[in-house]
Amino acid sequence: MTIALRWKIAAAVAALIVAILGFNGVSRLLAARHADELTQEAERAAALQAEQARAGARQRHDELARDLRQRREELASNYRQVADQAREYQARRAVQLQRQQQEAQRIAASYQLDANQQCANGIVINRRGSSFTQARGRDGGPIRCQGAKAAEPLR
């Protein structure tokens, strides 16, 4: 059984074409697998980056929230301190105003004629029993008056 040379060449060419096509198919399959692996690796890397970005964002959010809480607490503390200082100031101011008012009343009372004094012709007269004397000021002169009020302190 001898096979003609033509058939042998044709069989060799056909085997070569089959081998080339087979190699091409295997190469394409390997290339597709490699491309799939690269795509999956890229997806995993992107997912990992996204997760890291979310974790970083959560951490930054937590830091900012903690900082905001701390600043709010400091601000509230400052407001409390200012309010306490304001209350203390108001209390001191009320006492001061009360003392000023009492002093003003004491001074005003020192100008008022008492039951043993009267204003006669614009001069304060002291009455003790049945005797009458002029009230004298610091300079030794008579103290002027109008109504029930002297021109200078009597006491």
1-41 pLDDT, tens per residue? 566 778 888 888 888 898 888 888 889 999 999 999 999 99
Q: Strand locations in 73-150, DSSP E?
A: 117-120, 123-128, 131-134, 145-146, 149-150
CB 119 within 8 A of CB 135: no
Residues 105 and 119 in one domain: no
**Is residue 46, in this structure, part of any structural domain at all?**
yes
Residues 107 and 45 in one domain: yes
The count of structural domains within the chain is: 2
* Backbone torsions φ then ψ of 132, nearest 5 degrees: -125, 135
Q: Measured between alpha carbons, how far is residue 126 from residues 21, 53, 55, 111, 152 in Å?
A: 144, 98, 96, 14, 15
Q: What CA–CA distance (Å, rounded) separates 117 from 132?
A: 9
Q: Of 84, 108, 105, which Cα lies nearest the Cα of 92?
A: 84
Residues 86 and 123 in one domain: no
Residues 61 and 107 in one domain: yes
Least confident of 47-51, 58-62, 81-85, 118-122: 118-122
Residues 71 and 106 in one domain: yes
Residue the block writes with tokens 């009230």: 135
Q: What CA–CA distance (Å, rounded) separates 119 from 132?
A: 12
**Is residue 84, in this structure, part of any structural domain at all?**
yes
**pLDDT at residue 1, rounded to an integer:** 52
Residues 96 and 81 in one domain: yes
Residues 103 and 45 in one domain: yes
**Is residue 45, in this structure, part of any structural domain at all?**
yes
Residues 75 and 86 in one domain: yes
Residues 107 and 65 in one domain: yes
Query: Of 111, 126, 142, which marks where a domain is finished?
Result: 111
Mean pLDDT (the chain, rounded): 90
Domain span holding position 92: 41-111
Residues 45 and 102 in one domain: yes
Query: Does 148 have pLDDT greater than 80?
Result: yes
